[in-house]
């Protein structure tokens, strides 16, 4: 939990679980029918569609290529501070259930 934010999820190996997600806030709810390969989401009665061209990672690849071409050390879209914050959140999640990568002690 970060501040007043809470995430609740269910995961399992070998189970066929739904991959839907709900983001619920004070002003409403966002429904994501397939959060792993999301191409659309619903806010209230309105559906927003953002299909990807290949697999969804092309946007990150294109931004990285642009940064390299411009000799930038980080993206203007997702800067170093945001990257560090995201890394810390992911680390805290892994730590909360004692997940370690093979190279970690």
Contact 8, 1 (CB under 8 A): no
Handedness of CA 94, 98, 99, 105 (dihedral sign): positive
Instruction: Decide which of 34 and 70 is more confident.
Output: 70
Q: What is the pLDDT of residue 67?
A: 95
Tens of pLDDT along 51-78?
A: 888 888 898 899 999 999 999 998 999 8
Q: Torsion-angle region of residue 83: left (phi > 0), alpha (psi -120 to 50) or beta?
A: alpha
pLDDT mean over 10-20: 82
29, pLDDT greater than 70: yes
DSSP state, residue 35: G
């Amino acid at each position: 939990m970060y501040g007043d934010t809470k995430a609740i999820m269910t995961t399992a190996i070998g189970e066929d679980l739904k991959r839907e997600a709900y983001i619920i806030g004070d002003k409403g709810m966002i429904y994501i029918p397939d959060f792993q390969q999301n191409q659309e989401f619903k806010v209230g009665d309105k559906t927003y569609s953002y299909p990807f061209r290949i697999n969804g990672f092309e946007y990150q690849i294109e931004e990285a290529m642009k940064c390299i071409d411009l000799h930038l050390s980080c993206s203007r879209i997702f800067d170093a501070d945001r990257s560090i914050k995201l890394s810390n959140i992911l680390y805290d999640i892994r730590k909360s259930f004692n997940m370690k990568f093979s190279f970690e002690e």
